[in-house]
Every structure is written in C-alpha cells, then in structure tokens.
A and B are shown apart, each in its own frame.
Chain A
C-alpha cells in the first residue's frame, strides 16, 4: 500500500533542520495536519511555538525531490509508512503523552496490535542464562495465551523474548520496534530473527526511514514507542542502569501496567528489576500474575490445557519447583533410581515442562504454567 501524502509530509517535516520531536508535536497540535504545517506563513509558524530559523529551513527544503526520494526508498525496501490518522496506527500510541511519533515506518502486519492485548518484554542486553530462559519462557507463554509480545530486537533479553514468542509456531504474534531504519537491522546478527518475525506474521516498526543508521540516542527514544504500544511492560532482567528501566518509566508515565521478575539480591544484573519491584511494580512469578491485571480489558485469554503426570514425574517436578537442581543431585533428592530419574527428566525436558540449561541445571521449562495446573488437578497429592 503506497503511503498517504499526509504520512509523507509528516515524515519529511521531521527531516527539516531545526524541527525536533517537541516542535513537531507543537506544530501538529497547532495546525492539525502536516499539509497545513508545510503551507504555514512565518508568523503562524512562530505562533505555533517553532523557531523562525526552522521556518526558513522549511522554505528552503526541496519538498518534491525529497518526497520522490522517500517514496523510491520505501518502494525499494518494501517498507510501509503510516500517519497517526491511519486506522492501522497502533491506537495506544495516540494516547502517549507529549512526544508520540506522528508517523511510523513498518514491515509486516500491524492489525493484531489493534485487536490483541499487548505486553512488552524487555531487559538487559548482557543477560544471564537464567534471564534469557525466563524471557523466552514468558515470550512463549504470553503468545500462547493470545497476547502480543512486543520488544526491541536487541541482544539479550529482547531477542530471547522474540524467539520465545516465535516458538509458538506461527500462532503467536510478536513485533519489534527498532532504533534505526528497517533496512539496517541492528544488531546485525538478529537479521535472521527479524526475517523470522516477519515470516511468522509479526511486524518490524521504526520511526526512522529505512536507510537511517542505528544511532545510540535513538534506542532510548524507541523505548517510548515500545512502552506506548503495549498495555503493560514486563521487565525480565535489568541492572541498575538499563534501557529496560527507561521503557518501564515511559510505561508508568503513560499509565501502563509495569511488571518485573524478581532476581537474586547478590546479582547486580537484577538490581534494576528489584528496585522496580520496590518502587511498586507488580511482582511476576507466573503468567497469571500478568494476565490477572488485564481482567477489565475486553481481551480473550484461552485457558491452558490440562496436563497429567506420573508419580515419578510429580516427584521431580515438585523438586524442581522448590529449587533448580542438577541431574546428579536429583536421584538422592527424590528417592528415584538413577536410570528412572534420567528417563523422567529427559521425558519432561522433551515435553518442555522443564529445561536443562547449559550448566546442567534443571529449571522450569516453557510450559511450566501447565505444570502447576497439572499438579493441582492430579489424582495424588504431593
């Protein structure tokens, strides 16, 4: 779908030297549409709160040539452009205070963002294994519950969340908001992940034109869009200073729910998450903790299938629920023979109820939430 003239005018307005996000917003509120902004006289322009220098830059701007170039670029890269007036524009973004973008570049499908409950899963780029596993687990569990997962395609937690969501095999929806142009995926090693997101029916979103380079300050700015699109923000793992905390801050500002997973006090990688909890974020240990906050919203959340476990499976699941342990401790811990323990662990692992990390520790797996249900419903008590 070719971009509307309004979207083009908006996108180009941002490229006028002297027009920043704030004056852009002021001009738009004052004039109501991009066309009027471009046609404004110097006096009107100054009344709206923009500088005369910017007006002169606007007058000197070769609009036709720039518009042609932008259209060609969009066509070449297969990227679409929408303005805030477009019905596809994520509705939550319209209510973002102050600096919401007036237009978005995107690839893929934006419709699910209109229909689905959306949760942002964010965290540090330098993540621990535990954090990565948790991000993937919640990514998968959220999309399985019909929730859209949105994140920033960054290294570490972001990437893990997307990958987890993709594990649902095309049934889940995940979207990534990038800090640079969509033709220049950053980090480069996530190029494949970006393609997989598109193939699964997800979307890539950016407020920068496709060829725009990924520059450091833009990554902070895109966090406001992640927070803006989502109904809630889940912080998986964040050290004291982390972009994820910024996202949570934007979320709070915009009145979104903020969730965090608790981490070890001894691990500086979780200090930010723990501080967030102290400051009043909702503590999450399982999927229901997130879903229960959105009961008032008109979204449908499917119920999880029942799971039933054998006696030895129950013993092992109960041990894992208590604390992660290694395969070698397990037989003594649960009173099973070595072979039986190995067999049961392998079975549960393959069925995704538990996972064994690269250190050999047995942890709750992607389908852990079903374990809780299964244990409650099972015939024997533990």
Chain B
C-alpha cells in the first residue's frame, strides 16, 4: 500500500520540501530508500524499526520502498526519520487521520521512539511558514520554532504521543507569536567588566568601530592586549535588529550551532584559528554548508594573527568584504551565502613581534618581515578602514582615562550612521573640514577609496558626538586611525615619518 507525507532536507541554507513516498508491498522483508539518500538517511531503517517495536507499533514484515522526491538533490538530513516513519504508519493503517497534506514532519527518531532535535530547525520552520504548512517538530525545539511568527506548529516528545494525538483527529496547532522584543543584554560598562582601564585611544577606536561597523586592524607587539580589545569590541556591538535575527539564526541552525543567544539578539562572533581551511572559511561540501565568513554574517569575524592565515584564505576574504555575499557553484546549482560581516584582525609587525616597537629584541630579517606582511598589506589592508597600533600595555595610561564615553550611545549612533546616505556625506562637511580634506589631497595624494573611507569614519565619529555635520575635528580624529601597514616593511618607515 502507498502513502506519502512531506518532509524537508537542507540544501545550502534553505530547507527544501521533500515528498516522502512509501510503498508497502508484497515480497521478502526488505527496506529500500531511493532518491539520493546519504548514509544517514539509509540508516533510518534501523532507527525506525527499533522505534516502532519499542512504542508498540508494527513494522511491516514485507517489502518497504521509500522514495524521496525530488530525487535530484542529495538528502543528508536524519530529520527525514519522522516523515518516513509516519508514512509507513499511514501505509499500514496505524494512523486514522489521513489528512496530512499540509503537514511538514521534521525530526530524528531515537531507538525508544523519542523525537529528537537536529540541525536545521529554523530553516524547516521558515520553509513551513513560507509554504503555509503546519510543522510537526521535536518538543525540545519550541523556543526556536516560536521565533518564526505566524507559523502553525505542534511539538511532540515521542512517536506514540504523536500517533495518539493524530488518531483523535486534527491536532490543535499552536500559532507562534514570533520574536519577543529584544531585551537589553549589553553589559553596561564593558570596560569595567574586562578590566580595561586607560587606553583612551583604543577605547575611542573600538567605539567608532562598533558604531560604524568599520573593518579594523590592530597591530602591535605580543602581549599588549590586542585580542582583549577585540573581545571588548564584541561586547560593544549593538544587538541584532529584529529583521536580522532570523537571517542569522537560520545560518546558525543550518550548521547545528546553538541559536539561543542569536534569538536574544546577540551578534555573531566568530574567531577561526589561523589554520582554517578555504572550505572552513568559504563554506563547502555537498550540499554546501556555510563557512566562517557566513557564520559571522551581521556580526564580527575576528582573525587573530592575520599574516599566519594561508595566502589563499586571505585572498578569498577580499571579495565578500565588498560584495557581502559568497557564491559557491556546485554541480548544476549555485549557492549564495550571505556574508555581511565586520572584519576585525590583529597581528604582530613581524614573525617575532617586536619589529619597530622594540627593535633591540627583534631578530627577524628583512626577508622574513616582508614575507610575513606582504599578504596582509595592499588590497586587503585597503579594505580596512580603521587601523590602530597598540604599542604599550593598556593599563599604563591611567592619567587620561577620565573621558571615555561619547555623549551618544553606540546603538543610537549606529542607527544614525545607517540612516545617513553614504553617497552624500560630503554635503555634511563644514568649511573647516573641507579645508582639511584639501590639505590632505595636496600633501598626501589621498586615493578615492581612502577619501571615502576617511569620510565614512569621520561621519561615524560625528554621529557618536551627536553632531549632524562633519567637522575638521571629526576628520582629524579619523585621520589618526589610519596607520599604513606598509610602514612595517623595511624602508617604508621613513616615508611614513615624513608624511
């Protein structure tokens, strides 16, 4: 006998509807799954058989054929367990209510019949919402499912509960209300929390980076607190906005990361180790899984020890920094992974770390330093708006820690920055600012890209100062956050000293 229900499987970041067809026919006992299942899906036979036995259902002692349609994309998800099991129950008349055409089943079965959670719940919920279907899911995933507003769904703990509810007729669907208003999770004073006192320049720098979402680089000898500063930046970032939360949660869910924090609005923070592979950074596999650049979408991607990353890894960073999206071509399909991240990187000026800062300690040769820095200067450094040299341990500068905060909060400044038309920032310049820019053009041969970056950083500073207009002071401060990475190459430093 034949029955079919709907399940879904992950294809890239989105879940695809999969029609699960079951035919229970005559023949020797067998269980065949067709339609590009991978090993995980094939193994569902054993889970389903045990689950049936342990919950008092009968597994048909005949030939069972399962087809997963459409048959042309690989299914890798163990969450097809539940739809297969339900289809078998339907085909063998063990469920009375048969009006399951608008139900989407999602869940992995354990041997004792429990319905278990698995990666991809948000993606499944989004699919169900889009298709207007009702989602049947593991009870433990309720918080995640409830975040998708207007979705009718019902969670079940195990197979027998599900069958008993369905046997009584149409289940009562819960309509989810969507995300609750994001609470304030920010630490009121991250500086205090992280025990960073002093370091006014670094704090201003990070505040500007957080408000303007500018890419940033920190350079300095080992042990001055570069990594700690980026940790502080993470705390400074304003929460995700409602619209961004599901966008990020769906990515997290697709790779099986905990979505709890994201649903509360915490922006992603990813810090891959420098041995990360290209696939780890870009995403890959079949069907492709997102990589670190996508996992950091709407959040912060922190690359510590930037020059230690492979040359290829640094090269692939460049394009997403501009286009904010990663395109992966696989077989006859192209996958687009969003990757609108803020790049933070930290590195030493040479392999040993003391070059230029404590030259008497540095034992690196010219060649070593150049080979070390060459991959990170040039096109990559060009896309980094904010660059700061951290020379001394931060606690040294107690004297100036008085004025640390800008008058406007970071969150308000971020809203203001996003409100401003980036293409028309020049109209906000005051006279004195124009004079300063003219001076820069004359003396520094500012490139067009550098010009717009400078203007954009100055605009962020003005927003933080609560000013509509961009003054010379804002530009002057922005200019201080732009050391040239090339300075650390042999010979270039004198040029820098003269500029």
B357, B392, B488, B496: residue with the most chain A Cβ atoms closer than 10 Å: B496
Q: CB-CB < 8 A to B493: which residues of A?
A: 129, 132-133, 160, 357-358
* Interface set, chain B 163-219, CB cutoff 8 A to A: 199-201, 204, 219
| B397 lies within 8 A of chain A by Cβ | yes
Is B389 in contact with A359, judged by CB distance below 8 angstroms?
yes
Give the docked Cα–Cα distance between A349 and B443 (Å).
10
Q: CB-CB < 8 A to B219: which residues of A?
A: 358
Q: CB-CB < 8 A to A189: which residues of B?
A: 366, 370, 490-491
Q: Find the A residue at minimum CB distance from B367.
A: A189
Chain A 255-287 per-residue mask, 1 if CB under 8 angstroms from chain B, else 0: 000000000000111000000000000000000
Q: What's the least CB distance linking B100 to chain A, in Å? A: 66
Q: CB-CB < 8 A to A344: which residues of B?
A: 476
Q: What's the least CB distance linking A367 to chain B, in Å? A: 9
Give the docked Cα–Cα distance between A163 and B488 (Å).
16
Q: CB-CB < 8 A to B28: which residues of A?
A: none
Is A358 in contact with B491, judged by CB distance below 8 angstroms?
no
A-B contact count (CB 8 A): 151
| B72 lies within 8 A of chain A by Cβ | no
Give the docked Cα–Cα distance between A127 and B199 (Å).
28
Q: What's the least CB distance linking A350 to chain B, in Å? A: 5
| A245 lies within 8 A of chain B by Cβ | no
* Interface set, chain A 315-341, CB cutoff 8 A to B: 326-329, 331-332, 337-340
Give the docked Cα–Cα distance between A337 and B392 (Å).
23
Give the docked Cα–Cα distance between A188 and B159 (Å).
75
Is B476 in contact with A338, judged by CB distance below 8 angstroms?
no
Is B494 in contact with A133, judged by CB distance below 8 angstroms?
yes
Q: What's the least CB distance linking B499 to chain A, in Å? A: 8
Give the docked Cα–Cα distance between A349 and B219 (Å).
21
Is A346 in contact with B480, judged by CB distance below 8 angstroms?
yes
Is B400 in contact with A347, judged by CB distance below 8 angstroms?
no
Q: CB-CB < 8 A to A363: which residues of B?
A: 497
Q: CB-CB < 8 A to A5: which residues of B?
A: none
Q: CB-CB < 8 A to A337: which residues of B?
A: 473
Residue among B359, B443, B465 making CB contact with A129, cutoff 8 Å: B359
| B360 lies within 8 A of chain A by Cβ | yes
Residue among B200, B436, B494 making CB contact with A328, cutoff 8 Å: B200
Q: CB-CB < 8 A to B392: which residues of A?
A: 359
Is A140 in contact with B498, judged by CB distance below 8 angstroms?
yes
| B112 lies within 8 A of chain A by Cβ | no
Give the docked Cα–Cα distance between A337 and B499 (Å).
25
Is B498 in contact with A167, judged by CB distance below 8 angstroms?
yes
| A212 lies within 8 A of chain B by Cβ | no
Residue among A331, A332, A358 making CB contact with B487, cutoff 8 Å: A358
Is A327 in contact with B480, judged by CB distance below 8 angstroms?
yes
- Known A-B contacts A140-B498, A164-B498, A343-B475; the reply to A350 vs B359 at CB < 8 A is no
Is A127 in contact with B359, judged by CB distance below 8 angstroms?
yes
| A200 lies within 8 A of chain B by Cβ | no
Chain A 119-136 per-residue mask, 1 if CB under 8 angstroms from chain B, else 0: 000000011110011011
Residue among B479, B483, B494 making CB contact with A164, cutoff 8 Å: B494
Residue among B357, B402, B494 making CB contact with A132, cutoff 8 Å: B494
| B466 lies within 8 A of chain A by Cβ | no
| B305 lies within 8 A of chain A by Cβ | no
Chain A 17-45 per-residue mask, 1 if CB under 8 angstroms from chain B, else 0: 00000000000000000000000000000
Q: Give the secondary structure class of B's interface.
A: helix
Is A328 in contact with B201, judged by CB distance below 8 angstroms?
yes
Give the docked Cα–Cα distance between A64 and B311 (Å).
55
Q: What's the least CB distance linking B251 to chain A, in Å? A: 37
Q: Give the secondary structure class of A's interface.
A: helix
Is A355 in contact with B498, judged by CB distance below 8 angstroms?
yes
Is B476 in contact with A343, judged by CB distance below 8 angstroms?
yes
| B403 lies within 8 A of chain A by Cβ | yes
| B226 lies within 8 A of chain A by Cβ | no
Give the docked Cα–Cα distance between A349 and B474 (Å).
16
Is B391 in contact with A350, judged by CB distance below 8 angstroms?
no
Is B200 in contact with A339, judged by CB distance below 8 angstroms?
no
Residue among B199, B391, B474, B499 making CB contact with A339, cutoff 8 Å: B474
| B99 lies within 8 A of chain A by Cβ | no
Give the docked Cα–Cα distance between A361 and B389 (Å).
10
Chain B 346-364 per-residue mask, 1 if CB under 8 angstroms from chain A, else 0: 0001000000110110000
Give the docked Cα–Cα distance between A135 and B443 (Å).
21
Q: CB-CB < 8 A to A129: which residues of B?
A: 356, 359, 493
Q: CB-CB < 8 A to B475: which residues of A?
A: 343, 346
Is A329 in contact with B480, judged by CB distance below 8 angstroms?
no
| A183 lies within 8 A of chain B by Cβ | no
- Known A-B contacts A159-B491, A189-B366, A359-B391; the reply to A347 vs B498 at CB < 8 A is no
Q: CB-CB < 8 A to B201: which residues of A?
A: 326-328, 360
* Interface set, chain B 393-414, CB cutoff 8 A to A: 397, 399-400, 402-403
Give the docked Cα–Cα distance between A133 and B491 (Å).
11
Q: Find the A residue at minimum CB distance from B483.
A: A358
Q: Find the A residue at minimum CB distance from B487.
A: A358
Q: What's the least CB distance linking B42 to chain A, in Å? A: 59
* Interface set, chain B 434-479, CB cutoff 8 A to A: 436, 439-440, 443-444, 465, 471-477, 479
Give the docked Cα–Cα distance between A347 and B490 (Å).
26
Is A332 in contact with B494, judged by CB distance below 8 angstroms?
no
Q: Find the B residue at minimum CB distance from A239.
A: B360
Q: CB-CB < 8 A to A202: which residues of B?
A: none
- Known A-B contacts A136-B498, A327-B480, A351-B439; the reply to A340 vs B473 at CB < 8 A is yes
Give the docked Cα–Cα distance between A328 and B402 (Å).
11
| A231 lies within 8 A of chain B by Cβ | no
Give the docked Cα–Cα distance between A326 and B388 (Å).
13
Residue among A268, A269, A329, A342 making CB contact with B473, cutoff 8 Å: A342
- Known A-B contacts A343-B476, A347-B436; the reply to A355 vs B366 at CB < 8 A is no
Is A163 in contact with B494, judged by CB distance below 8 angstroms?
yes
Residue among B444, B474, B491 making CB contact with A163, cutoff 8 Å: B491
| A356 lies within 8 A of chain B by Cβ | yes
Q: CB-CB < 8 A to A326: which residues of B?
A: 201, 391, 397
Residue among B356, B479, B480, B498 making CB contact with A358, cutoff 8 Å: B356
Of the A-B pairs whose beta carbons lie under 8 Å apart in the complex, a sample of 19, sorted by A's number, is A129-B356, A129-B359, A137-B498, A160-B494, A163-B494, A167-B495, A326-B397, A329-B397, A339-B473, A343-B477, A346-B479, A346-B480, A350-B440, A350-B499, A355-B496, A357-B496, A358-B357, A358-B483, A360-B391
Closest 6 A-B residue pairs measured CB to CB? Answer: A343-B476, A339-B473, A359-B391, A136-B494, A342-B477, A346-B476
Give me 20 other A-B pairs in contact (C-beta within 8 A), A189-B366, A355-B499 excluded. Answer: A128-B359, A137-B498, A140-B498, A160-B494, A163-B495, A187-B366, A342-B477, A343-B476, A345-B480, A347-B472, A349-B499, A350-B479, A356-B483, A358-B219, A358-B349, A358-B493, A359-B356, A360-B389, A363-B497, A365-B497
Residues of A within 8 A of B (CB): 126-129, 132-133, 135-137, 140, 155, 159-160, 163-164, 167, 187, 189-190, 193, 267-269, 326-329, 331-332, 337-340, 342-347, 349-352, 355-361, 363, 365-366
Residues of B within 8 A of A (CB): 199-201, 204, 219, 349, 356-357, 359-360, 366, 370, 388-389, 391-392, 397, 399-400, 402-403, 436, 439-440, 443-444, 465, 471-477, 479-480, 483, 487-488, 490-491, 493-499
